[in-house]
Structure 1
Amino acid sequence: MEPAEQAVDGRHESAEERADRRWNELLQEVRVAQTGVQILFGFLLTVVFTPRFASLEPVDRAIYVVTLCLGAAANGALIGPVAFHRLVTGLHLKAQTVAWASRLTVVGIVLLLATIISAFLLILRIALHDSAVPWIVSALVAWFLLCWFALPAWARRRYARGR
């Protein structure tokens, strides 16, 4: 077996095959995140045209603008890997493309988290007018951090020790 085809993580694949596999896996992940952020962003774009928008308090309008900006930034980061790939295709940069696309995806996920939390805050402020809103939002933040970051970090530490 040639050095370029040594087993990595139990697989016998060349660097190019590994980059292709990682790219395909990343695309599947990005498709899931893109769908969520695009639906949320589309909803946010329509809010300003509702009759109730004019009666929002200045703080709620500011939260809306921040939420809208976060949603746009999340869309940019999650669509970024596709544009990156398209612009460097044919230059034999697949491994580097995968690395940059992965970074953009993580940034997009963080921005999506911020968008969801910000939208949730705005909706609860309008729906409840209650002092429980910060507590509910904090619980949701903790839940997302657990599901999206803490559990994967725990799994990496726990199961990577034997390698």
Structure 2
Amino acid sequence: MAPARQASEGRHESAEERADRRWNELLQEVRVAQTGVQILFGFLLTVVFTPRFATLGPTERAIYVVTLCLGAAATGALVGPVAFHRFVTGQHIKPETVVWASRLTIVGLVLLLATVTSAFLLILRVALHDSAVPWIVSGLVVWFLLCWFALPAWARHRYAARK
């Protein structure tokens, strides 16, 4: 085996090959999240122009503004890896680019969770006017936390012993 090659997670690849593989995997993941956040954000941008918006109370308007800001921030974080890569291409820092893009993606997912939660809260407040709304929204947050963070963290911990 050549000295520049290393065994990493069962693969024999150089640091550059590993960075290329991880970058491609990250891009596939980000594409899914980007599509979702862009559709959600686009929808949020149109809400203010509907007739129903004028009838919202101050609390619902405040929730809308927070939701819109969270959606913009999530969009920025999830599009960030593309801009980051474009600005540093050719600088021979692919491994570092992957690390920073991964961090931006995680921030984007957290912001997407907050955006979805806030949008869900707004919609349920308008639709139900019910004391069950906080419980329903809390249940959704727990579900997302389980699916997006707890289950992957558990799997990472559970199967780390195999290495």
Q: Is the TM-score greater than 0.5?
A: yes
In structure 2, the partner of 1:154 is 154
Q: Deviations over 1:75-130 (max 9, x none)?
A: 00000000000000000010000000000000000000000000000000000000
What percentage of aligned pairs have identical amino acids? 83
Alpha-carbon distance, 1:2 to partner: 2.4
1:65 is aligned to 2:65: yes
In structure 1, the partner of 2:13 is 13
- Could you tell me which amino acid in structure 2 is paired with residue 18 of structure 1? R
In structure 2, the partner of 1:108 is 108
Detail structure 1 runs of 4+ shifted over 3 Å in the superposition: none
CA distance in 1, matches of 2:111, 2:3: 39
CA distance in 1, matches of 2:21, 2:146: 28
CA distance in 1, matches of 2:135, 2:45: 27
Q: Which runs of structure 2 are paired with 1:18-97 in the superposition (5 Å)?
A: 18-97=18-97
CA distance in 2, matches of 1:95, 1:86: 14
Alpha-carbon distance, 1:3 to partner: 3.1
CA distance in 2, matches of 1:65, 1:35: 21
In structure 2, the partner of 1:124 is 124
Number of aligned residues? 163
- Could you tell me which amino acid in structure 1 is paired with residue 16 of structure 2? E
Alpha-carbon distance, 1:139 to partner: 0.3
In structure 2, the partner of 1:3 is 3
CA distance in 2, matches of 1:3, 1:67: 51
Secondary structure of the structure 2 residue equivalent to 1:3: coil
TM-score (norm 1): 0.99
CA distance in 2, matches of 1:23, 1:58: 44
Please, which runs of 5 or more residues in structure 2 have no aligned partner?
none
Alpha-carbon distance, 1:21 to partner: 0.3
Secondary structure of the structure 2 residue equivalent to 1:131: coil
TM-score (norm 2): 0.99
CA distance in 1, matches of 2:153, 2:79: 25
Alpha-carbon distance, 1:161 to partner: 1.4
CA distance in 2, matches of 1:81, 1:2: 32
